[in-house]
Amino acid sequence: MAAGMAIASEGGDNNIYNGKITAFVILSCMMAGMGGVIFGYDIGISGGVTSMEPFLEKFFPEVHRKMKEDTKISNYCKFDSQLLTSFTSSLYVAGLVASFVASSVTRAFGRKPSVLMGGAAFLAGSALGGAAVNVYMLIFGRLLLGVGVGFANQSVPLYLSEMAPARYRGAINNGFQFSIGIGALAANFINYGTEQIKGGWGWRVSLALAAVPASILTLGALFLPETPNSLIQRKSDHQKAKLMLQRVRGTNDVEAEFDDLLKASSTAKTINHPFKKIIQRKYRPQLLMAMAIPFFQQVTGINVIAFYAPLLFRTIGLGRLKVCQLSKWIECGGSIGFGRNMWVKWMNRVRWRKLDIYTLI
């Protein structure tokens, strides 16, 4: 995995670090956060597009024929297509494979190149999807989007964490999840509009509009600064890293945080076999929870529901416009609801263990 250096002050209090949230940090994090917007957009857009009749007629005619002609089978079975499932799931398969490559790229070359590669893959995938003339071109575009997901999900949260001041790190890092929700919400609004385009080409607009945040991320990545953590980890020019830290924190008095970064880097370099280290008995509780929390979150099926929500609504007999409306308002509640904003506000004021317990309840 990419090596992000965890730092802790000797006194155990992050408030001894000087600095504030500067405009430089806000702009950098907003630019990097576009990776989350694109991920959310890709999650939200595919379910709506695969419920559009012109799209199904062009690329999945067998599914479309069942929808129109076969009245003896349930609506659920009408969408039972391996090819249609391949289109949807190819993004996640590519993202899984790409995440292993992205980890090495992020560690060896820094966070900025990884963000740039993710943005470029997103841009190419959205262009192929919008211009697709056959199902193979469509699926290849989805695979490229998956590569972008793998790189963005690896590098963007790490970038946000390292750029954020210690006392605001949890809240700013949660901005990636918030960006995913905003992207999914935007996708549902766009699907609602493109569904009503006469001529049957609305699905092209839905798929191609992913290029907007992808372009922002790609172009922005060219100007993003590298994080001080990455500079210390990869290079021996500590003076450059210190200057960057001073610029990021908006103050020249960064000695406490800079010394802790150097100590963390030195300690990390003395560990020759990190995977053997992390599976030692004393680290097993932390390792278990770090793996179990995201695993069981996915096993609940919540992402599948978000992904296939429009199709699920179609299977119970709702019309296409009602499907778009329901998906839109459900995502609206999930994306910008009270609960998420409350967690952002209190993220760094209470212990993480308490947040996990409240969430599970």
DSSP string, 162-210: HHS-GGGHHHHHHHHHHHHHHHHHHHHHHHHHHTT-TTS-HHHHHHHTT
Domain for residue 297, yes or no?
no
Domain for residue 295, yes or no?
no
Please name the amino acid found at residue 29. C
To which residue do tokens 């308002």 refer? 329
Residues 31, 224 contacting (CB under 8 angstroms): yes
pLDDT tens sequence for the chain (361 residues): 455 555 544 444 555 788 788 888 888 888 878 888 888 888 888 877 887 888 988 998 888 787 777 666 666 666 677 888 888 888 889 998 998 899 889 888 888 899 999 999 999 999 999 999 999 999 999 999 999 999 988 888 888 888 888 888 877 887 888 888 888 888 888 888 888 888 889 999 999 999 999 998 888 888 888 889 888 888 777 889 999 999 888 888 889 989 999 998 888 888 778 788 888 888 888 899 888 888 887 788 777 776 666 666 666 665 555 555 555 555 555 545 444 544 555 555 555 556 556 555 5
Neighbour tally for 300: CB within 10 Å: 9
pLDDT of residue 243: 92
Domain for residue 282, yes or no?
no
Domain for residue 349, yes or no?
yes
Domain range for residue 130? Answer: 22-225+303-360
Whole-angstrom Cα distance, residue 350 to residue 50? 42
Number of separate domains in the chain: 1
Question: What CATH number did the domain enclosing 76 receive?
Answer: 1.20.1250.20
Whole-angstrom CA distances from 92 to 88, 238, 254 are 8, 38, 41
Please name the amino acid found at residue 221. A
Whole-angstrom CA distances from 302 to 305, 306, 334, 356 are 5, 6, 11, 17
First to last CA, the chain: 31
pLDDT of residue 9: 46
Domain for residue 50, yes or no?
yes
What pTM did the predictor assign? 0.80
Domain for residue 129, yes or no?
yes
- Quote the tokens at residue 132: 């697709």
To which residue do tokens 């770090």 refer? 290
- Which residues 6+ apart lie within 8 Å of 44 measured at CB? 183, 184, 185, 186, 187, 188, 191, 306, 327, 331
